[in-house]
Amino acid sequence: MIYLPHTHEDIFSMLQVLGVDNLDDLFSTVPDDCRFKGDLNLPEALSEWELNDHMSTLSNTMSVSPDYKVFVGAGSYEHFIPASVSYLLGRSEFVTSYTPYQPEMSQGTLQAIYEYQTLAARLLGMEVATASHYDGATALAEALLMAVRITKRKKVAISSLIHPLYRRVVQTYFEPTGYEVVELPYLNTGVTDATGLEGMDDLAAVAIQSPNFFGCIENLQFLGQKAHDKKSLFVACFTEALAYGLLKSPGSQGTDIVGGEGQSLGIPRSFGGPALGILASSKKHMRSLPGRLVGKTKDLDGKTGFVLTLATREQHIRREKATSNICTNNSLCALAAAMYMASVGGTGIRKLARLNHDKTEYLKKELKKAGFGIPFDSPTFNEFVVEFPSGFKAGHKHLLEKKIIAGLCLVPYYPELANHYLLCVTETKSKNDMDALVREVKS
């Protein structure tokens, strides 16, 4: 087998050193009644060439670009990824190394992640970003638990316009803790209704997503102030990181902790994972942050170098008192994001974000012209909600046959919003694509 280098001679001479007759005898410490005596019932090994065929067949059943025009975001976004990023991400020194516990031979990963922390913090206007978390949902859950630890209060308020699947993850994380999660309703303008906060004096945190699940931009400054009036921490969440290439950052609007999703930054959708949980806070709360942190320092010769630091927060030292149980994170995804941000650049990211916004406005306008309702009038970035006429389900199916996926139906998540669909337009959609969508939807 090509990944098992031992020859019969190798095995024989090694067994001799051990004074053992055969490989089975190596398992003498496994009690007989623990041993599995049969063969694993798994398919026979495929050659590399058979595997290629098998996987291509599976891959070809999937409905993706360029055949399909998928106008869906909702936490998973289609963006162009430069060939240079994919190429660099294939460097095996990045791919096949592990956590930089021995910093002297991991300076590549360490500097790269230090750079990622810096760029992510700058994107979000925050002071410190961690080396990554699993995804936006778990980053949000950890941000809320962090707020509980810091304030010692046992309740959090989260907007009902935070991604429904993120809210479910938060509920799952909070279930055994005894801490309470309350949801803030939304207004007919498509943003969070914070009036309920008036009566809540015991909140560890208030969490808002912006742009929210309906695509609308929330007034983080205003909501943050409301949270701070109640001495709660303000947590901002996001699913579309690219928005902050254009929009005012959460940090500049009084956010204490940010927990969101970085998949838009150079990471393919990949059916939802691996993703990139971005977690950031002010320096004040640095020691409460979960996850790894890379710091800059000097070596014995005075040369600049990088190390994992503030490790006493983490599980391998603090064990049951750690800020989290996280060990393996999503480092290579963070690296992809850093490479992407480096490639796009400060000037480029604003242009790209603007393009996303303008294309989305075009589709919005065309759909409005075609007589479809845009129920929420708050400004949006690259997603918005359309109200199609009743019975549109059949229309959606018809579009599917034309290989156009016209948005995500909101009914499973917001049953009160019948025939409402969430559409997304990124730089990957052309004017022609959008005109085709409008044409087909009208017919």
Partner 1 sequence: MKESLAATGLLLNEPLLWEKGKKGRCGFSLPRRDVEACPLDEELTREGPEFPDLSEVDVVRHYTRLAQWNFGVDTGMYPLGSCTMKYSPKTNEKQASLPGFTGAHPLLPWGLSQGALKMMFEFEQYLNEITGMHATTLQPAAGAHGELTGMLIIYAYHKKQGAQRSKIIVPDTAHGTNPASVSLCGFRPVPVTSNEQGILSVESIAQIMDQDTAGIMVTNPNTLGLFEENIQKIVQIVHAKGGLVYCDGANMNAVMGVVKMGDIGIDVMQLNLHKTFSTPHGGGGPGSGPVSVTKHLEPFLPVPRVVEKNGAYVLAEDYPDSIGKISAFYGAFGVVIKAYSYIRSMGPENLKKASQLAVLNANYIKEMLKGTLHLPYDRPCMHECVFSDKHQTAQKIVTLDMAKRLMDYGFHPPTVYFPLVVSGAIMVEPTETESKENIDQFIEAFKAIASEAKENPDLLHHAPKSCKVKRLDEVTAARKPCLGG
Partner 2 sequence: MKEIGEIHLPDDVRYAEDHEWARLEKDKIRVGLDDYAQDQLGDIVFVELPQVGDTFKQGEEFATVESVKAVCECYLPVSGKIIAVNTALEESPELVNNSPYGDGWFVEVNPGDLSEMENLMTHVACLEKLKGAE
3 or 371: CB nearest partner 1: 3
Q: Side-chain half-sphere of 48: how many Cα atoms within 13 Å?
A: 3
Q: Are 237 and 208 in contact (CB under 8 A)?
A: yes
Taking alpha carbons only, the member of 105, 103, 163, 106 closest to residue 138 is 163
User: Is 311 a binder of partner 2 (CB under 8 A)?
Assistant: yes
With CB under 8 A as the rule, give the number of residues binding partner 2: 6
The most distant pair of C-alpha atoms in the chain lies apart, rounded to whole Å, by 84
89 sits in which H/E element: helix 83-89
- Tell me which of 52, 312, 325, 430 binds partner 2, using CB under 8 A: 312
106 or 255: CB nearest partner 2: 106
Q: Which of residues 128-157 bind partner 1 (CB under 8 A)?
A: 128-129, 131-132, 134-138
User: Is 287 a binder of partner 2 (CB under 8 A)?
Assistant: yes
Q: Which of residues 372-431 bind partner 2 (CB under 8 A)?
A: none
Residue 314 binds which of partner 2, partner 1, none (CB < 5-8 A, kind-dependent)? partner 1
249 bridge partner residues: none
**For the window 311-350, what string marks contact with partner 1 as x by the rule CB under 8 A?**
xx-xxxxxxxxx-xxxxxxxxxx-x--xx-xxxxxxxxxx
Q: Tokens representing 33?
A: 């009644």
Which residue spans within 177-242 are E strands per DSSP?
Answer: 180-184, 203-209, 233-238
Q: Are 253 and 221 in contact (CB under 8 A)?
A: yes
Region binding partner 1 by CB under 8 A among candidate stretches 91-99, 180-188, 196-204, 368-376: 91-99
Taking alpha carbons only, the member of 276, 278, 161 closest to residue 215 is 161
Question: Alpha-carbon distance 367 to 441, whole Å?
Answer: 9
Q: Tokens representing 308?
A: 């994992």
Region binding partner 1 by CB under 8 A among candidate stretches 76-84, 153-161, 185-193, 230-238: 76-84
Residue 189 binds which of partner 1, partner 2, none (CB < 5-8 A, kind-dependent)? none
User: Is 318 a binder of partner 2 (CB under 8 A)?
Assistant: yes
130 or 239: CB nearest partner 2: 130
User: Is 415 a binder of partner 1 (CB under 8 A)?
Assistant: no
What is the closest distance, in whole angstroms, from the C-beta atom of residue 170 to partner 1 in the complex? Answer: 9
Q: Which of residues 16-45 bind partner 1 (CB under 8 A)?
A: 17-18, 23-24, 26-31, 33-36, 39-45
199 or 397: CB nearest partner 1: 397
State CA 214 to chain mean position distance.
18
Question: Alpha-carbon distance 93 to 149, whole Å?
Answer: 37
307 or 409: CB nearest partner 2: 307
Residue 370 binds which of partner 1, partner 2, none (CB < 5-8 A, kind-dependent)? none
User: Is 104 a binder of partner 1 (CB under 8 A)?
Assistant: yes
129 or 236: CB nearest partner 1: 129
- Listed in sequence order, the residues at least 6 apart from 159 whose beta carbon sits closer than 8 Å to its beta carbon are 183, 184, 186, 192, 207, 208, 209, 212, 218
- Tell me which of 152, 271, 371, 394 binds partner 1, using CB under 8 A: 271
Question: Alpha-carbon distance 271 to 250, whole Å?
Answer: 28
Phi, psi (degrees; rounded to nearest 5) at 316: -75, -15
Q: Tokens representing 409?
A: 């139906």
- Tell me which of 74, 184, 203, 437 binds partner 1, using CB under 8 A: 74
Sign of the Cα pseudo-torsion (411, 415, 419, 424, in order): negative
Residue 386 binds which of partner 1, partner 2, none (CB < 5-8 A, kind-dependent)? none
User: Which spans of this chain sit near partner 2 (rule: CB under 8 A)?
Assistant: 287, 311-312, 317-318, 321
